[in-house]
């Protein structure tokens, strides 16, 4: 097997985790709406606090992937919290997006209710980013439940939330699909404990909740494959730690968790699932790469250089910073299946020619500063010392040297395996030298 083949094999092995990360391409937190003083006048829905933000959370999956579950377990709790209570509409509030009555969305502040979802924004429509909404809104005309307030709800045009909801509602028709995910089921602690019309609170944290569906899972309403998994309204700061089950086209399931602690087989940590995100290096080509980072903080600074970092190998590479033991070659019979004539050409030459001249050097290995080179009747013309990559480290002419031996200063050589070349006439002789 060639060096290139070994390196590619290692790279493929190391990339398994990175490829898994590719199934989960992004997590998008959209500021869907910001409530104003007009919205706060609604009494039927329970009154939403001025300045409350309605967030929608989407998971962006690969084209052939589907979402099977949002869950929490003993190792990876499911957490959705805020620094102020979540808004639950008292009139038509629901726990899941597919339960929201599409016909009630134009009534009071139903459209701002907090809930979990597996894709749906109502019982008749999928949720979609407002920026991608192609068909306007069905939310105009909300009257706040009072004859004295003939409109004005959901119309705040705060630029931080984009178009008001009476212009774009982030909802698209099902196109033959079903708002209720196939085999929808909830086990363990129900989100009803917080996301229900009669409840109030600011933290949902559970180690046994599973909001799921069966094969084939749910996909997004467009080719972008972004799936709405929740809508949360609060006057405080939103935070979450989510865990997902994703189904690949092959039918296999991979679990994405927001923390890298207590990882089990089939689990991959992703910082994208934590909000606010913890930033770090997101480029896997750098040593500083952090697979749990949810945003890039510019800390990527050291490109990865694969190589053999064993100084006893003939292809020891001191410029490498990521050791690959499969790339190390120690001689013709111990080269990890590599072609020694490619990875250590000087060593293969030494093996062929080492007995072709009456010469030697000692000590070998050499730990001190001096190496004594000795020869027989024919004085060599030159001596060179090369490292495992073929770089000339020492080069000295011997014509002025006395017959028999010479002391070479090797103090500048770092530990490693070297090749000593002795040049005599048109002949080149080589032997290995180990620098301790």
Q: What is the pLDDT along the chain (436 residues), one digit of tens a residue?
A: 333 333 333 333 333 333 345 899 999 999 999 999 999 999 899 889 999 999 999 999 999 999 999 999 999 999 999 999 999 999 999 999 999 999 999 889 999 999 999 999 999 999 999 999 999 998 865 554 443 344 589 999 999 999 999 899 999 998 766 788 999 999 999 999 999 988 889 999 999 999 999 988 999 999 999 999 999 999 999 999 999 999 999 999 999 999 888 899 999 999 899 999 888 898 889 998 887 777 888 899 999 999 998 877 888 888 899 999 898 988 777 888 887 777 777 665 544 444 555 778 888 888 888 998 887 776 778 888 887 666 778 888 877 566 678 888 999 898 888 888 887 776 767 778 888 7
Q: Provide the pLDDT for residue 1.
A: 33
Q: Provide the pLDDT for residue 280.
A: 86
Integer-rounded Cα radius of gyration of the chain: 34
Q: Which residues contact 320 (CB under 8 A, 6 or more apart)?
A: 305, 306, 307, 308, 309
The domain ranges of the chain are 15-269, 341-435
- The SS3 of residue 189 is coil
Q: How many helices (H) and strands (E) does the chain have?
A: 5, 27
Q: Looking at 39-170, which runs of residues are DSSP E strands?
A: 53-61, 66-71, 78-82, 115-116, 125-127
Q: Provide the pLDDT for residue 172.
A: 95
Burial of 191 (0-12, 13-18, 19+ CB in 10 A): buried
Which pair of structure tokens corresponds to residue 330?
């120690």
Are 111 and 121 a contacting pair, CB within 8 Å? no
Q: Which residues contact 39 (CB under 8 A, 6 or more apart)?
A: 48, 50, 52, 109, 112, 153, 154, 156
- Is pTM, for the whole model, over 0.85? no
Q: Which residues contact 354 (CB under 8 A, 6 or more apart)?
A: 429, 430, 431
Q: Provide the pLDDT for residue 388.
A: 66
Are 18 and 11 a contacting pair, CB within 8 Å? no
Are 113 and 157 a contacting pair, CB within 8 Å? no
Are 169 and 105 a contacting pair, CB within 8 Å? yes
Which pair of structure tokens corresponds to residue 135?
């068909």
Alpha carbon of residue 409 to chain centroid: 49
Q: Provide the pLDDT for residue 104.
A: 92
CATH: 2.60.40.10, 3.50.50.60, 3.30.70.890, 3.40.220.10. Which one for 341-435? Answer: 2.60.40.10
């Amino acid at each position: 097997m060639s060096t290139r083949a070994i390196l590619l094999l290692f790279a493929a092995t190391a990339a398994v985790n990175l490829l898994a990360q590719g199934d989960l391409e992004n997590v998008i937190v959209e500021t869907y709406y910001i409530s104003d003083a007009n919205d706060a006048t609604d009494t039927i829905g329970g009154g939403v606090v001025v300045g409350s933000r309605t967030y929608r959370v989407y998971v962006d999956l690969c084209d052939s992937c589907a979402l099977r579950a949002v869950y929490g377990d003993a190792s990876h709790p499911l957490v959705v919290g805020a620094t102020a209570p979540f808004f639950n509409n008292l009139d038509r509030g629901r726990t899941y997006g597919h339960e929201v009555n599409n016909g009630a969305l134009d009534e009071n502040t139903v459209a701002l209710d907090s809930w979990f979802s597996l894709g749906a924004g109502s019982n008749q429509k999928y949720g979609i980013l407002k920026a991608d909404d192609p068909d306007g809104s069905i939310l105009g005309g909300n009257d706040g439940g009072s004859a004295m307030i003939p409109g004005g709800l959901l119309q705040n045009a705060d630029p931080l939330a984009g178009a008001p909801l009476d212009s774009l509602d982030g909802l698209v028709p099902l196109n033959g699909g079903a708002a209720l995910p196939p085999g929808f089921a909830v086990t363990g602690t129900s989100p009803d404990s917080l996301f229900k019309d009669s409840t109030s609170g600011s933290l949902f944290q559970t180690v046994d909740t599973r909001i799921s569906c069966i094969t084939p899972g749910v996909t997004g309403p467009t080719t972008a494959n972004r799936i709405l998994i929740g809508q949360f309204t609060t006057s405080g700061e939103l935070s979450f730690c989510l865990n997902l089950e994703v189904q690949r086209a092959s039918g296999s399931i991979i679990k994405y968790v927001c923390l890298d602690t207590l990882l089990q087989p089939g689990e991959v940590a992703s910082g994208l699932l934590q909000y606010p995100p913890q930033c770090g290096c997101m480029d896997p080509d750098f040593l500083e790469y952090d697979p749990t980072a949810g945003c890039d903080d510019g800390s990527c600074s050291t490109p990865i250089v694969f190589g053999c970092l064993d100084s006893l190998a003939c292809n020891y590479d001191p410029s490498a910073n990521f050791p690959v033991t499969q790339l190390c070659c120690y001689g013709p019979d111990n080269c990890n299946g590599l072609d020694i004539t490619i990875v250590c050409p000087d060593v293969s030459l030494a093996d062929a020619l080492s007995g072709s001249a009456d010469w030697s050097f000692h000590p070998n290995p050499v730990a001190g500063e001096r190496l004594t080179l000795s020869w027989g009747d024919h004085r060599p013309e030159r001596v060179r010392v090369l490292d495992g990559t073929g770089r000339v480290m020492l080069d000295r002419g011997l014509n002025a040297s006395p017959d028999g031996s010479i002391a070479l200063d090797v103090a500048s050589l770092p530990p490693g395996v070297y090749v000593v070349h002795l040049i005599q006439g048109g002949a080149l002789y080589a032997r290995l030298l180990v620098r301790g």
